[in-house]
Amino acid sequence: GAVVSQHPSWVICKSGTSVKIECRSLDFQATTMFWYRQFPKQSLMLMATSNEGSKATYEQGVEKDKFLINHASLTLSTLTVTSAHPEDSSFYICSATYSGNTIYFGEGSWLTVV
């Protein structure tokens, strides 16, 4: 079946630095990718929707200049957390779909900012 891979699974970074998380669709071309964030004991919240070759659409309250999303190809989307702070520590997960079919999720990435 389709597989979506995220890298890294775990990352620790210093406050003020930037960190990039990759989301790849391994055996299908993802026309749309989604990025979610989950804080402890809360549900996953959609951060942004990205379509290949166009700018991402951010959900209300998500800073687009802080969370840079690049969907440069049909198999890769990246989320860069810029100038990370401890409050950005969270579980980030991506999902991908081809033309509105079933959504496949990555394994998620745990970010800790110290």
Partner 1 sequence: KQEVTQIPAALSVPEGENLVLNCSFTDSAIYNLQWFRQDPGKGLTSLLLIQSSQREQTSGRLNASLDKSSGRSTLYIAASQPGDSATYLCAVDSGNNDMRFGAGTRLTVKP
- Minimum separation from the CB atom of position 95 to partner 1 (A): 8
Q: Is 87 helix (H, G, I), strand (E, B) or coil?
A: helix
Residue of 88, 91, 78 whose CA lies nearest to 33? 78
Residues that bind partner 1 (CB under 8 A): 6, 32, 34, 36, 41-46, 49, 93, 95, 97, 100, 102-108, 110
Residue of 14, 47, 12, 45 whose CA lies nearest to 33? 47
- Minimum separation from the CB atom of position 32 to partner 1 (A): 6
- Minimum separation from the CB atom of position 18 to partner 1 (A): 23
- What's the token pair of residue 109? 């990435």
